[in-house]
Structure 1
Amino acid sequence: MTSATALPRVALAALLLLSAGCAGSKQDRADTLRWALSEVPNSLDIAHGFNNPSTIVQFAVLDCMVTLGKKGEVLPSVAESWTHPDPLTYVFTLREGVKFSDGSPVTAEDAAFSLSRHVDPKVASQAASYVTMVKKVEATGPRTITVTLSRPNQAFLPTAALAWQIVPKKLAEAHPEDLGSPEVGTLGSGPFKVAKFSLTEGVTLERNPLYWGPKPALRKIELKTISDPETLRLAVSSGEADGTADVRPSEARKWTSLRDVTTTFYPADNIAFLSLAVDQGPLKDVHVRRAIAHAVDRAALVQLMTGGHGSQADLFLPKPQLTALYGDAWPALPTYAYDVEAAKAELAKSAYPRGFTLATPYDSGGENVKAMQAVASDLAKIGITLELTPLPSEKYITQRMDHEDLAVQMANLYYSTPDPSEVLPDLLSRASAKPQGFNFSGYGTAALDAELDDVGRLEGEPRQEAITKVLAEVAEQVPYVPLYHNESAFALNKRFTIDAGTWTIDILSAVRPAGS
């Protein structure tokens, strides 16, 4: 039984505890970042969560063997060095003393397995298209990993900076299908460790005291999903959230006008496009696909979707990759100018001169809603009706990755290296046309796969010529319609700064308290 005289003491103790907590919270807030995401991270394993909201968490927790510098150059990470004794062989040497956040050592076996699992069809890795050139991965010494390629490929090292996330072999073998899920989680050797992961309550990361590299400036990162773009903007404006990378270029003016928030734009390694499922109904006809390409007003889409922070795409590669490859002298390839009469003329050459109707699911919570509506309006002018069916984001993404009901889809994919070999196999290889791959058009041939091999194998001018040949085939056959390039942006409370740009892989670790 509680006595009356005890009540004031309990109340006083509670008050003192609350006061202490409030005092502590001011200090904690200085090195705690509250980061807002527009979509829910579905997995902390790149094999099953190769998407922006998931990878932003993964790269703060999971080390890769190598990383990228500010100019896109490949730099050491968990591998302190490597050699390239012949065109098919890479030999990596692990740093000494690297540990997972639970204190267990990162071994050569862990590192070798972490790469080889992506080529295992049983894993059904979404990163599989990044490592199709890998033939064998072996731990050849206590700190040595040897990678043997099936063919020379210039993209192996830069894509390893993304796909070769190191996880414990024992944990990954025990959970081939659900590693990275909220139920299983993950274990890494990166700057942060996972304190909480929930699809409904978000993700909390804490500084990893065992990290081998420089001590992270932040002690804690709390990631929360705010799917509505206006609600997200208001959260950053009010200070409920400290920052986000999910600034829609079309709403740039709303963000740049915020007080106490710095919005920084930089060139995105992205390509926005329509994918046309070449194995489905009318879309099998190349004249239909060319008609669609002529009918879409891409210049209007640039204005609608980039808010002055973008440009029209004529070639099927991200702008930074085109610049890295060609400089200012991009090849002159066939393009499809907005021309309704030319679109009608192409459609007249097809088996569907009077048009047709296609059921078209789209992401009702994504950034492309207005663009899909605009595309549907454009195509209606030539007799093609898109029956737009809105789906919740999670359902839409799952359905798209399962390659269900693809027909006409819009995607805006972001990449992370200056190498076109990151993109072209991802979107054009037959391997990537399978479920969990990103070849949503389904376009692919043995001959094209061989050309993609040349893209990876060759160097210098012959490589330029090989890439130009692939781009010319895309322009001719139109499995995809390039739409636009846009800039990306970070919006950050002025209490924080960020040192990041086009090639930054670990965004969260690039944030630090202002003045630190």
Structure 2
Amino acid sequence: MARIAALVALLLLTGCATTQAAAPKDTLVWATSLPVHTFDIAHGFDTSTLAQFSVLDTPVTLDGNGQVVPSLAESWKETKPGVYDFQLRKGVRFSDGTLLTADDVAFSLRRHLDPNVASEAASYVVHVKSVEATGENSVRVTLRQPTAAFLAVSALAWQVVPRKLAEAHPKDLGSPQVGTLGTGPYKVAKFSLTDGVTLVRNDQYWGPKPELARIEIRTINDPEALRLAIKQGSVDATSDVPIRDARKWTGIPGVATGFYPANSIFFLSFDVTDGPLKDVHVRRAIAHAIDKDALVRLGTGGHGSAAAALLTAPQLKTLYGDKGSPLTRTYPHDIGKAKAELALSPYPDGFAMTIPFTPNSEDALTMQAIISDLAKIGIRITVESMPADAYRARLMSHDRAGMQLHRLVYGTPDPGEVLPDLLSQASAEPQGWNFALYGSAALDAALDRMLTTSGPARIPLVDTILNEVAEQVPYVPLYYFDGAYALNERFTIKVNAWTLDIFSAIRMAG
């Protein structure tokens, strides 16, 4: 069946290549393996941000070094600890010509705090106490306590939308049925879950005119079909180059393939509140049983490295330099130690467990290797295949969390983006990203201390949190992987881990 599907995809792509007229020079056809499903980060803090950041502005953004720089806000000042006053640009308009107001900007952050919205970005703004428009072009954010990561995470989560539209659609803003309005360099001309997305230049944009006039985003979920589409020229670009098979992509005539250290991490989460995974010795046994080096070889094709800590490689480098994280407890691959840990649990001979997974995922080989490693210590895993949308709904509702494999990509160099997201009690609520459901008042306090501290004094506080994770194992960091792209040589791009608006970074060659 897989061969038949690949053949059908090939025939379809070949047909498209011969019957479609060549796209205009300033049009880019981009392919993704997963469809853009919403233009609202509150309900699509995932691969949909690829398109969101070209349409929806934030008050601040990140430069090529990961530093916070102005965007919709011309300037800001922390007038006293934990209180930020933003001065907005004058005359900014949404793509329909409506004038942006300070009230729109304030509301766009405040809505993530509304439980009726059930925002996936809520854990990013949990320290926000209040947001208010204080003048025609000024907004004040008051935090519950000073938080060093606030500005950096604002570059991700604080996407600005019209208040009137968002209040009318708290659950379906950004959907194909409702759409959205933004102040970014592009606007949405077409949006369909089946037919893809078309973005066109926003003539109302306050900033530099983007070089590309039109972006067509299509979904091709079969990696080989995607590669053939790039090779044949029916698709110009993608960032979904399968890292483990990158050698197949390098050397395609007329196509540049690039790699860079991504702000990303592969890890396992364990529901510490239920079943065998509730026992710390079971979790430690699993950590020892998994051969991370083998996973790196299998999953990255040489474009990755084993992960020891629950931060990405760029974040660790920003914090620790070349020293790495000083963990007091590590879990080298050792079946003997894994069995010894399991013997300390109520399950010395192992147990059976069913976990959800999406079929045809590019992570399937990694999952198979993990299943094989765990079988060696008597842990028998059965995979429950689920469609991607059903899996995501179950994942975000924290329904039967069990053990799950995650590939997460982050946006800033600040550990305050990741650690509260995965470890705070607030994020353990449904729609949060604490899939381990691990947390405590003491850990929340440690996270708060880390968030309110900046400079070198922050390092020992991060050490404390990372060492608790290493000791209690609510997560097993597996490996880091590079970001990769394939781009028709008619275009050029300068991209790194901190690039948020990819489409505006693309230029026409020559």
TM bucket, shorter chain: over 0.9
Do 2:316 and 2:325's aligned partners in 1 also have CA atoms closer than 8 Å? no
Residues 101-134 of structure 1, C-alpha deviation per residue, up to 9 Å, x if partnerless?
A: 0000110000000000011111110001111111
Structure 2: distance between partners of 1:234 and 1:385: 37
Match of 1:272, as an amino acid? F
Which segment drifts farther, 432-441 or 305-314? 432-441
Match of 2:119, as an amino acid? S
Q: 2:436: which partner in 1?
A: 441
Structure 2: distance between partners of 1:316 and 1:111: 33
Q: 2:158: which partner in 1?
A: 164
Identity of paired residues, percent?
58
> 1:131 and 2:125 equivalent?
yes
Q: 2:271: which partner in 1?
A: 277
Do 2:326 and 2:463's aligned partners in 1 also have CA atoms closer than 8 Å? no
Larger Rg: 1
Out of 249, 252, 269, the residue aligned to residue 246 of structure 2 is: 252
Report the TM-score, using the length of structure 2 for normalisation.
0.95
Do 1:366 and 1:393's aligned partners in 2 also have CA atoms closer than 8 Å? no
Within a 5 Å distance, the mapping from 1:464-503 to structure 2 comes to 464-503=459-498
CA-CA distance at 1:25 after TM superposition: 6.0
CA-CA distance at 1:461 after TM superposition: 2.8
Count of residue correspondences: 491
User: 5+ unaligned residues in a row in structure 2: which ranges?
Assistant: 1-17
> 1:39 and 2:34 equivalent?
yes
Instruction: Give the SS at the match of 1:204.
Output: strand
Residues 417-465 of structure 1, C-alpha deviation per residue, up to 9 Å, x if partnerless?
A: 0100000011111111121111111111111111111111012232111
Structure 2: distance between partners of 1:254 and 1:451: 46
CA-CA distance at 1:361 after TM superposition: 1.1
Structure 2: distance between partners of 1:39 and 1:340: 36
> 1:238 and 2:232 equivalent?
yes
Q: 1:195: which partner in 2?
A: 189
Q: 2:419: which partner in 1?
A: 424
User: 5+ unaligned residues in a row in structure 1: which ranges?
Assistant: 1-21
Q: 1:373: which partner in 2?
A: 368
Structure 1: distance between partners of 2:213 and 2:46: 25
CA-CA distance at 1:152 after TM superposition: 0.7
Report the TM-score, using the length of structure 1 for normalisation.
0.94
Structure 1: distance between partners of 2:392 and 2:359: 11
CA-CA distance at 1:367 after TM superposition: 2.2
> 1:77 and 2:71 equivalent?
yes
Do 1:365 and 1:392's aligned partners in 2 also have CA atoms closer than 8 Å? no
Q: 2:113: which partner in 1?
A: 119
Instruction: Give the SS at the match of 2:24.
Output: helix
Do 1:365 and 1:393's aligned partners in 2 also have CA atoms closer than 8 Å? no
Within a 5 Å distance, the mapping from 1:276-355 to structure 2 comes to 276-333=270-327, 334-355=329-350
Structure 2: distance between partners of 1:332 and 1:147: 35
CA-CA distance at 1:95 after TM superposition: 0.4
Structure 2: distance between partners of 1:441 and 1:325: 25
Structure 1: distance between partners of 2:362 and 2:119: 26
4+ residue stretches of structure 1 with deviation over 4 A?
Answer: none
Match of 1:214, as an amino acid? P
Structure 2: distance between partners of 1:253 and 1:280: 42
Instruction: Give the SS at the match of 2:448.
Output: helix
Match of 2:238, as an amino acid? T
Please give the root-mean-square deviation of Cα atoms over the aligned residues, in Å. 1.2
Instruction: Give the SS at the match of 1:47.
Output: helix
Q: 1:19: which partner in 2?
A: none
CA-CA distance at 1:166 after TM superposition: 0.4
Match of 1:396, as an amino acid? Y
Match of 1:315, as an amino acid? A
Structure 2: distance between partners of 1:220 and 1:396: 32
Instruction: Give the SS at the match of 2:357.
Output: strand
Out of 383, 390, 397, the residue aligned to residue 392 of structure 2 is: 397
